[in-house]
Amino acid sequence: MKKIFLLFFFMVVAGLTARAQSLTVQAGDYNPLISNELTGAQKVPLLQIEFTASQASFTVTSLSFRASGSIDESIDVYAVYLYEDINGNGLLDVAEQQAASSVYFSSDNSTAVFSGFYLTVPAFYPVNLILAADFTGTATVGENVIFSIEDYLSITAVQGGTSTSAVIDGTFPINSNAKTISTVGTLSATKSRKSPGDQQALNDVDGFIMLELTLTPSSCEPVQIQSITVSTDGTADESVSVLVSGVRLYYDSDYDGAFSVNDQSANPYGMGFSGDDAAVTFLGPFTEIPANSTVYLMVVYDLSGYGLDGETLNAKIASSTHISAKGAYSNQFIQVVGPPVSGNTVTISPPTPPPAEVVKPEIRQYCFVNRLSGPAEVLYGIWLFLTAGILAVISFATRT
């Protein structure tokens, strides 16, 4: 009986160890959203894939994607690409390199296999890939496509430095969002990776970043935002704790997540909240955003000094309807995807008190000249001077 128990115990431990050393695969936190794309769009981000290794590192050597939708991928998709998403933002940035050679679909709704590459996933450090595509220009308006990792068999990986196959964890299928062929654009509005986390703010601070948005038009056309509504909640009364014109919008020009002199104002006027948990609307039009590009927009508060210690603030775009945008070519109001988008909680703290004033001991000055400051003291000084002189003359005369 004891032997049976020990055997069972070691089997359980072995199973838990294998599971602890698994490779987890899922859609990334910044997976591209649904969008409209031109029929000939190039390098369109489709799907962000996140790999996370526990306990041990792994090497991914192949990855398969199945296509579905009304597009014929063998005709309408020229090629698909796999990039390492170095900064994890779900966008194809200039510095990012291909992780594998491009591949093609041999028929409609078929599978494309990336193989012969080596992607290292260190223990406890997520690694992201982006699947992207070139469209040929043959797909017609209204057709769409979705790409999927169907199951764990679509991924080949080994434990680092060995030939032992990885245990793949994840919820399958892992699907991209739909891409639809159109001439009318879409605008993606998501929370930036540089947007601050939970933080504290002095109750009289200026230029405090509450939320940073990533704004990305699709490939169809440039986009011009017509209005943005910022809502707020929390335990603080924003009409009291935020200055009358203390809600402002700025472009994070250097994408550093910090408010600096290099950042350009997106709107010339500051706004103020009319009451507790109210909203303000900034009217445009704002600067035109080129197709298939990205700008970062910061919501900034100037606090009044009247917020109470421990009260909280939060800024958000509560709904897709709270961003109004027009396509530059179609001149139509376009679909905005992504909201609701909420900043993290800001807790108000009292201002730092000024340093205590150092009181210097009085140094008495015995030279009457140094003590003269007003007319009375000047006359008094002259009287003392004359009196001393007269006494000195009398003293001298007496001695002689």
pTM: 0.82
Give the separation between CA 388 and CA 13, rounded to whole angstroms.
Answer: 105
Query: Does the fold of domain 187-349 match that of domain 16-182?
Result: yes
pLDDT tens string 340-351 = 999 999 999 987
pLDDT of res. 126: 95
pLDDT tens string 313-355 = 999 999 999 999 999 999 999 999 999 999 999 999 987 666 6
At 260, the pLDDT band (50, 70, 90 cuts) reads confident
pLDDT of res. 114: 98
At 261, the pLDDT band (50, 70, 90 cuts) reads confident
Sequence-distant (6+) residues with CB within 8 A of 162 are: none
Tokens of 271: 């706004």
Sequence-distant (6+) residues with CB within 8 A of 139 are: 39, 71, 72, 76, 181
Locate the domains of the chain by residue range.
16-182, 187-349
pLDDT tens string 153-198 = 999 999 987 889 999 999 999 999 999 999 999 999 999 999 999 9
pLDDT of res. 238: 97
Give the separation between CA 112 and CA 325, rounded to whole angstroms.
Answer: 36
Top CATH class, 187-349: mainly beta
Sequence-distant (6+) residues with CB within 8 A of 216 are: 91, 187, 188, 190, 292, 293, 294
Top CATH class, 16-182: mainly beta
pLDDT of res. 393: 62
Tokens of 247: 């809600």
At 15, the pLDDT band (50, 70, 90 cuts) reads very low
pLDDT of res. 310: 96
Nearest to 92 by CA among 30, 148, 38: 30
Task: List the beta bridge partners of residue 248.
Answer: 300
